[in-house]
Structure formats: structure tokens, C-alpha cells
Structure 1
Amino acid sequence: TKKTGSSFIGMFALRVVMAFVVAIFLNLILSPNDTPFMQTIAAVNDASIVGVLEAWLHSSLSLVVTIILIVTGLMILQRMLTEFHLIEVISRPLRPLMKVFGLPPSSPFLWIVGNLVGLAYGGAIMADMVEEGKLSLDDSNAVNHHLAISHSLLEDTLLFVALGINLWIIVGTRLLFAIIVVWGRKLIVLRYFFSKNQPSG
């Protein structure tokens, strides 16, 4: 993380704190009867332990197969986009959206990678861009703050939807708090420099 302008401890603390903040937020906006996670198990006439375990095993295997298919499909998609150089083409229309997120114009490609294949691969590409001078440490730090809250957006969303969680709740909540974190950090930095440059006395 230091290669991309971010502190490991800072990113770790941010993710832990925001996990609690988002959990509290969702607890407040979701009605008590709204159960986002619901794994349906077929009714079993035989109430024995063996019958219950068989139903659980069948349901779990179906879920595992669904997850494997989704992850495999996403890996193939990512390889195809990279092979045909389509990620860069797709990133161009996203630059106005990056402004809303508070991210630099050079960040669409990183944002796509971070949301397609996650932080590990995205972090490696980000470090290379910083070393090549294509991305400043401050800009990469801003992208890190965004992706710390909202990364692997496509994969995670599909997986959670497969588990029965509302699509808009997952996407909307993650993007909302990613925007709050990035713009909040910018305001804090601006306020710090403004107060530091104020003439004393």
C-alpha cells in the first residue's frame, strides 16, 4: 500500500470502521421484517437429522455451483477484455462518473480493474502506474480509499444477489459510502492546508 500512497494500518482501520458504519446504516434503513439473506431449503417431510442434513447439503451444493459459475464467468470476461484491449475503451465514458466519485481522470481503468478482479490485481496495476509516473501518489491514495469501500463490485454484487440480497441495496450502499469517504477525505485535507496557510495573529 505504501507504493500507492496509502498506509496499511490506515486502510485496515478504514475498512473495519466503515464495516460497522455501513452495518449500522443498513440496520436503520431496513425494516425488521426485511431479511436480505435468505437461503431457501426445501421442505422435508422426514424431520430426522439425516433428512435435514440432506436438504442442507443439496442447498449448499447448489449455492457452491452457482458461485463457481459466476466467478469462472467473470474470470473469462476479464481475460477477454484484457486480450482485446477493451478495458481502456470502456474506461473513457467513465471519466465523468469519476468526477462524481471524487477520483482523478486517470482512474477509470483502475476503477474497472478493482471492480472486476478485486484489490490484489488492481493494486499491482496501480503500483506500476505510480512507478511509471502515470498516476500520482495522492491520486492513487484517493482510488485506494474508494476501492477500500467499494471493490469487486460486479463479482460481489452477483454473488450477494445469488444469496437473495437486493441488488440496489448492495450497489447503492457501497457507492454512497465510497463517495462519502473520498470527498470527506478531500475536505479534511483542504481544511488542513487552509488552516495551515492561514496567517497567525
Structure 2
Amino acid sequence: MIIFPVTLVVSFLRYTPLFDAAVSSLTPVMGLFGLPGEAALPLVLGNFLNLYAAIGAMLAMDLTVKQVFILALMLSFSHGLPVESAVCKRIGAGFWIVTGFRVALALAAGLLVNLLWRGGSEPASYGLVAPAQAEPEGFFEVAAAAFGAAFFGVVQISLIVLAVMFVIQILKDLGALGLFARMTKPLLKPLGISSRGSVTMAGGLVFGLAFGAGIILEQAREHDFSRREITLIALFLCACHAVIEDTLIFIPLGINVLPLLVIRLVTAVVLVALIAALWKETSATSKTPVVNKD
């Protein structure tokens, strides 16, 4: 699992001069979001790898509740860009459109929360990862502290992931995806998406862009989505997908995860509805997008 090596390495490096130099150089930029310079590391790991790598890095850092929430929110909007943007490209949405959309959402969310939220200054409590009583000194103490943080980080995230996978498997066995798709159909019209996109939307919302890629690609091949419609679907799912997994895996960071879900869902609905209202269907956008048949 990626969390263990990432947490181990970051925990160890944060006591080295190299880490201090990197933090100092990034502090002015990260300060715009109310974050320390070291917070750039989980953002980079999350965007180029996945959320698990980002959380592994965060577990090795001393952050406040507000800082953890800001990072979690930014990463909720923008993570796993190489893989998830590639999925969007396969279904006919522009790679750079969805990537730019997600990065812009993350940056705007971080700036707004930092400006509007005055609380959350207390130190974050990382569940099973208890805060150190004293700074470790010497190689062996640092190594032991890093190993402990990595081990407990893996334990708690694994518990969450196992529970999430169990729930998702039950939903699959019960055929809940079809039921969820039928429930969401009335909500699609204001978003400029026809009812035939309900299964695609449901698949992305429940399973995510990466794990739900099979469902999303299959639906894109079967239905004659217009360029406009598939782009709106992709933008919505970029802002809000994998609502079970991507929400619950932040629980070990000791924050209230419900606001994360609400903010993502409201943002996706409002922005996509606005884009749909401004972007009218034309002969150019009504053409079926090219979907890779391989």
C-alpha cells in the first residue's frame, strides 16, 4: 500500500535540512491558502498519484484542523489527474478542459475557505496516530517515529477502505446503481443532461472516475451523447465523484467529512447548471464525440 512508504519517507525527511529548505521556498505561495510550505507535498502527491499518497504525507505533518480541511477540500476537487483526466478524454471530453476545471476549483476552494473560516486553529488529531510528546532526536528516534506514523496510518486507512469496498460490493450485488440512476433522472435536466446519462452519472458518483471507468466508458459507447452533454457530465463528475470512498477516507485526519461532501455536491450542481445555461446546444456541439472503442 502506498500510504506506508509515503508516510515513512515524509516523516523521516521532515527532520532533514532538505525538507526545511523546500518548505521555506514554498511558504509564500502556500500562505495564500493558509497552509505551511510543507503542505505543497500532499497536493503534489495527490494530484499526480492519488488521495492515499496525499493522506500518507499529511499524516506525517503537524497541521491545524483548518489546514487539514483546506487540504482535504482542495484534494477532493483535484486528485489523480493523469488517470482520471485520461478517462474523461476517452469518453470525449477535453483532457485539458477537465484538468483545468479541477485545478481551478481546488485553488478557488482553498482561497475561499482560508478567507471565510476564522476557526479551526486547534491542532488536528489524526485518529490512531497520536501526536508525539516530544521531538525525536537522533537517527533511531526519528526512524522509530516515522515507522510508527506510517504503521498506524496504514491501519486506519485500511479499515476505512475495507469498509468502503464492502459497502460498494453490497450496492453492486443489490443492483443499487440502477435504482440510484432512476432517482437522479429528474435532477439531470437542469444540468443540461438527458435522462440517458443517469447510469453514467450514477457510476461516477458511486464508484469514481477511475474505478467506475468501465461503466462510464460503456455508457459513452452505447449512447449518442453530444459533445456538450458529455462535457457537462465530465465536469460534474470531476467536481463530485466517488462520494463514498473520497469522503470516508478523510475520516482518519480527524475532520468533519460531511461538509466536504456537501461543498462538492453543491459546487458541482451550481457550476454545471450555470455552464449548461450559458452553453447552448449548436450544430457543432450536437455531434457525437469520438469514443475509443478499444
TM-score by length of 2: 0.55
Given the alignment of the two structures, is residue 9 of structure 1 paired with residue 99 of structure 2, yes or no?
no
Q: Distance in 2 between matches of 1:106 and 1:36?
A: 47
Given the alignment of the two structures, is residue 125 of structure 1 paired with residue 215 of structure 2, yes or no?
yes
CA distances 1:137-178 after superposition (whole Å, capped 9, x unpaired) = 433322111111111221111111221222232112211221
Shift of 1:22: 1.3
Return 44-53 or 153-162, whichever deviates more. Answer: 44-53
Q: Distance in 1 between matches of 2:210 and 2:274?
A: 25
Shift of 1:23: 1.1
Q: Distance in 1 between matches of 2:236 and 2:210?
A: 14
Shift of 1:66: 1.7
Q: Distance in 2 between matches of 1:145 and 1:46?
A: 44
Q: Distance in 1 between matches of 2:124 and 2:133?
A: 21
- Residue 26 of structure 1 aligns with which residue? 113
Shift of 1:51: 4.9
Alignment CA distance shift 1:12-1:110 (3 Å):
same
Contact kept in structure 1, 2:125 and 2:254, CA below 8 Å: yes
Higher relative contact order (CA 8 A, sep 6+): 1
Q: Distance in 2 between matches of 1:170 and 1:135?
A: 30
Q: Distance in 1 between matches of 2:238 and 2:115?
A: 23
Q: Distance in 2 between matches of 1:87 and 1:53?
A: 46
Alignment CA distance shift 1:76-1:47 (3 Å):
closer
Contact kept in structure 2, 1:115 and 1:155, CA below 8 Å: no
- Residue 81 of structure 1 aligns with which residue? 171
Q: Distance in 1 between matches of 2:235 and 2:211?
A: 16
Contact kept in structure 2, 1:36 and 1:166, CA below 8 Å: no
**Counterpart residue identity of residue 10, structure 1:** I
Q: Distance in 2 between matches of 1:66 and 1:18?
A: 29
- SS of structure 1 residue aligned to 2:249: helix
Q: Count residues in correspondence.
A: 193
**Counterpart residue identity of residue 164, structure 1:** G
Q: Distance in 2 between matches of 1:35 and 1:187?
A: 42
Contact kept in structure 2, 1:70 and 1:158, CA below 8 Å: yes
Report percent identity of matched pairs.
25
Contact kept in structure 2, 1:15 and 1:148, CA below 8 Å: yes
Return 144-153 or 2-11, whichever deviates more. Answer: 2-11
- Residue 185 of structure 1 aligns with which residue? 275
**Counterpart residue identity of residue 12, structure 1:** T
Equivalent positions of 1:42-57 (< 5 A) are: 42-44=131-133, 48-49=137-138, 50-51=140-141, 54-57=144-147
Return 148-157 or 50-59, whichever deviates more. Answer: 50-59
Given the alignment of the two structures, is residue 70 of structure 1 paired with residue 157 of structure 2, yes or no?
no
- What's the Cα RMSD here? 3.2
Contact kept in structure 1, 2:240 and 2:265, CA below 8 Å: yes
Q: Distance in 2 between matches of 1:84 and 1:23?
A: 38
Equivalent positions of 1:108-119 (< 5 A) are: 108-119=198-209
Return 148-157 or 165-174, whichever deviates more. Answer: 165-174
CA distances 1:59-96 after superposition (whole Å, capped 9, x unpaired) = 43222212112222322332333234232123323334
Shift of 1:6: 0.9
Shift of 1:33: 4.0
Contact kept in structure 1, 2:206 and 2:242, CA below 8 Å: yes
- Residue 91 of structure 1 aligns with which residue? 181
**Counterpart residue identity of residue 186, structure 1:** A
- SS of structure 2 residue aligned to 1:165: coil
